[in-house]
Amino acid sequence: MIRFLLKNFSFLCITLIVVSFIVFCLTQLSPVDAARAKLGAFATAEQVEHLTHELGLDRPVLERYAEYIGGVLSGDLGQSLHFGVPVSEIIFDRLGNTLTLAAISFSIIVPLSVFLGMVSGMREGSFLDRSILVLSTFFTSLPEFATSVTLLSIFVVGMGVLPGLSLMEPDDNWSIAQQFVLPVATIVLFDTGYVVNMVRASMIEVMQQPFIRTATLKGVSFRRVVTVHALRSAMLNPVTVIFLQINYLISGVVVVETVFGYPGFGRMMLEAALNKDIALLEAGALVAVFVAVSTQILGDLTLTVIDPRIRTR
């Protein structure tokens, strides 16, 4: 286990270094003039040149990269040109909001997906199986934007029972808990269907295995066959997919956050890109890569717990 952790931690560090260098070079060598973007279109050439020198953008790329890495290791992620505050302040605040949204959504997606996928897989070809399959495929194929607009039309415009914006600020009309309902519902409807289909396919395959028939012929109750024997084996394939949803819930919900005005990490990255906030983009890219690699490692670690055979490989 220690060898496994050390190997994956080394992989994580190497990946972060490579990605940080690539992202830094792409942003620093891009045709976007950060000084001009900050000062505006009507700034004089002298003003732009002075700010370029002040920001150190006229120095060699490798020298700036070494300084950037030193700052990152010391906790200094730079200054956000768009928000006018240190990057560490804005990025961790927005990341905290997205983690809250992700945690609520994930706690609903996982048990719901496993339950529906298990029920559907046990009754392959039945009316219940077909109904779950059709609904899950429908909501997964429906774009997040369309789902968001539909929910807004029903619960905000039509019924007026929920807020249309999720600004994470309580007011006289809507509590913060109520502001979470529509963003969470959109994410759950979109993401659950994909995991349901994965669990269903794996459950169908496991239910056809000889050891399931053997357990049934020995007189083991159907409920015990499913919960003790089938479910554990059926989760081997979907578990990686389930943990990869964490990456989506943190870095990929930009559409949901934008539609509902949610001050999260994805929306922050969109604003940074639109406003050419290079320092914030660089830090956000590192966070996104860290989350992606960490969830992959966590998925592999969970597999070793579910299937002891993997520990000996």
Query: Tens digits of per-residue pLDDT, 274-309?
Result: 877 878 888 888 888 888 888 878 877 777 776 666
Same domain, 166 and 93: yes
| CA-based nearest residue to 272, from 283, 261, 259, 287 | 283
Tell whether the model's pLDDT for residue 34 goes beyond 70.
no
Confidence (pTM):
0.80
- Give how far the C-alpha of residue 212 lies from the chain's centroid of Cα atoms, to the nearest Å: 36
* Residue 143 covered by a domain: yes
DSSP 221: -
The pLDDT of 83-91, averaged and rounded, is 85
* Residue 82 covered by a domain: no
What's the start-to-end Cα distance of the chain, in Å?
Answer: 11
Q: Give the sign of the dihedral formed by CA 138, CA 143, CA 146, CA 150.
A: positive
- Domain span holding position 49: 2-73
pLDDT above 70 covers a percentage of the chain that reads: 89
* Residue 245 covered by a domain: yes
DSSP letters spanning 131-160: HHHHHHHHHHHS-HHHHHHHHIIIIIIIS-
Tell whether the model's pLDDT for residue 310 goes beyond 60.
no
Same domain, 142 and 173: yes
Q: Give the sign of the dihedral formed by CA 37, CA 24, CA 98, CA 95.
A: negative
For 231-276, write each residue's pLDDT tens digit: 777 777 778 788 888 888 888 888 899 999 999 998 988 888 887 7
Same domain, 157 and 186: yes
Same domain, 91 and 69: no
Same domain, 102 and 141: yes
pLDDT averaged over every residue in the chain: 82
For 90-140, write each residue's pLDDT tens digit: 898 899 999 999 999 999 998 999 889 888 888 788 888 889 889 988 888
